[in-house]
Amino acid sequence: MRALDRLVTGAGPFGIVACADCRYGATVPQLSESELERHYSDQYYEDFYEHSGQDAEGLLHRLRQRFRERAAKRRYERRPYRTSAEQPGRVLDVGCGSGQLLASYASRGWETYGIDPSAAATAAAARRGATVHQGTLADQPWAPGSFDLITFQHTLEHILDPLDALARAARLLAPGGLLIVDVPNWDCWQRRLFGNRWFHLDLPRHQQHFSPRALRKASDRLGLQVRGAGTTSTAISSSYSLHYLIAGHWTPGWKLWLSYGLGILALPAVLLVDRVIGGDCCFIAMGRGPTPHKRE
């Protein structure tokens, strides 16, 4: 598959080569960190993650902001982030963004930590009460065994060496700790339907493209035990894929709002198909040693 950077620069096309066995894809060429920098912008962070924390202006923008907040809250109350018989401890979110996930854990009594290379992201997460480090796992300040739970929420697909990142994170787990990875599902029906206009491709920022099978193989390579795995649905992603079909690239204005409307109309059918054959995102929960927390 080949696709443009439809969100920020319009550059490309970039390619994806995929393994037919484990259904893992890699973006080609693999760009260096310095080459990738120009494909991240204030627009990228604010349009999708709203790091500034400012209230949206205008009725439609406020409705979108409220929808995103409610969707995030519902997502964090479900697999893979919610635990049953939960005993709060210390949680680290790798690529913490604006800190929404950490705020959800804090409300349940967890001590929250975040790491992100973006200054805007770490500032936003700090405003939500997290202890944050601006940087990566390669320069993180914490001792081995520091965390009971480590999460990669739509982060691993951005990382140039995902196995190295997971190995570094695993060393930070306390005995019996849990490592959760949540990523777009390269093997889903929406990717096949929308092709190179599938929103979750997000080339070239997404350097890796995972399937449930690929995540299990990564767990095997790391010597970690699978504690849970599955797929989930992202309510708004089909709207963005429809937007790329209509406009070809990210285009604020009436075409974007039309895409939202069409996405809302299609959402019941999308969720039904997701339930039957799998959603547009996939997750895995991995650990080493005894399980301290029962997963829902």
Considering the entire predicted model, what is its pTM? 0.87
What CA–CA distance (Å, rounded) separates 259 from 238?
9
| pLDDT score at 242 | 94
In this predicted structure, what is the pLDDT of residue 257?
87
pLDDT confidence of residue 161: 93
CB 245 within 8 A of CB 194: yes
Q: What is the rounded distance in angstroms from the CA atom of residue 81 to the CA atom of residue 158?
A: 20
Q: What is the per-residue pLDDT for 18?
A: 93
What does the pLDDT profile of the chain (296 residues) look like in tens digits? 999 999 888 898 999 999 999 899 999 988 888 888 888 866 555 555 554 455 555 666 666 667 666 766 777 777 788 766 567 899 999 999 889 899 999 998 999 999 998 888 899 899 999 999 999 999 999 999 999 999 999 999 999 999 999 999 999 999 989 999 999 999 999 999 999 999 999 999 999 999 999 999 999 999 999 999 999 998 888 999 999 999 999 888 889 889 989 999 999 999 999 999 999 999 999 997 655 444 43
The answer to whether residues 103 and 55 touch, using CB atoms and an 8 Å cutoff, is no
CA–CA separation, 198 and 2 (whole Å):
11
Distance CA 202, CA 196 (A): 10
pLDDT of the residue at 72: 64
- Structure confidence at residue 293 (pLDDT): 45
pLDDT of residue 51: 46
